[in-house]
Structure 1
Amino acid sequence: MIRTNRTAEADNVREFGVYTKDHLEIISHLRQHGVTTIAMESTGSYWQTLFNALQQAGFDVLLVGGSQTKNVKGRKTDVIDCIWIQKLHSLGLLSGSLLLSDTFQQLRTYYYHRQHLVQQSARYSSKMQKALRLMNIRLDVALNDITGQSGMAVIEAILSGHRETDHLVSLVSDRVKKSRQEIADALQGWWREDRSAEAIAV
């Protein structure tokens, strides 16, 4: 919902869609009416793409929380809210929310994505250990980290069909503290193709 203070009718409100072409139409509409500053309410995550598009188009965009734009009691509609927000903004009664710069927003996105990947990696590692333990392959005893270089070399060999204990032991780095015999004992198990497939699936 868009309302400008330069429309022909005092309460004229125009509705737009949510696609990029609609964002471009909004920008064109606002420019046609000489709008330079905009107030919009932050609702869920829907505001973000339009907010960024308006900022990139050169508008001064004020993002306000719902507590600031709360209307008087009574019937509440999107049109009424739109008119009310525009009126408050035209009177200078709204203050914008504190927003991170675009650079910090990108850094935050990367940070949370990395956190998600770390959590997923830990979950998959746990499921892989379980699949190996069910064959009594105790790679987790032989190595501190089965997702390290030696661990992944052994797992890749197992998934490729290798079952020879000597071959698997040879893939483990000499820097591993366990003795060759201890590693060999840990890598001797009861092989099952379904469990191997389960390790691949995770």
Structure 2
Amino acid sequence: MPTYLYFGENEFFLTRTIKQLKTHTLDQQWANFNYTEYPPESKETIPQALSDIMTPAVGSGGRLVHLPNSTLLGVCSKEILLQLESILPKIPSTNTLLITNTHKPDARNKSVKLLLESAQVQEFPLIPQWQTEALIQQARTLADEVGVTLTTDAYTVLIDYTGNHTQLIFTELEKLKT
């Protein structure tokens, strides 16, 4: 599926998943030509991105168009909505449209409804600090990934120190491995 919608407050997992998608989609030799990130500040961002997503990739690999914190997840003009409707089913299979946001998009908006129907959606929620068991489980998963084995008390101390800051948990686990 060439369209992805990622959202959530856990920036560590969100960033990591974006990097994995880049690695999977782009040929590293052609990445500078085939990866485009459009900032949300400009009014011409959406039309440029929609035009870019229909352009074939240069060289080998695919094309990745990234819209971080896009206004596409808010209220869109009718013109943009119609353009989005016509383009989403026609995106070339080698091209990928990635829309990310730190907050859950409002499913009542027409553009969001359209994206939810045609995109692969993934949420990256931040575990609340009072859910200690869930945080310990997340730390165990990250520890397995890093290759560190800790005791139950060590996980408790780690979570007391780091809270729900996933990047810090990962960094501390990497330090422990060293």
* Structure 1 and Structure 2 fold alike (TM over 0.5): no
TM-score normalized with structure 1 length? 0.24
TM-score normalized with structure 2 length? 0.27
Greater radius of gyration (CA): 1
Q: Choose between structure 1 and 2: higher strand proportion.
A: 2
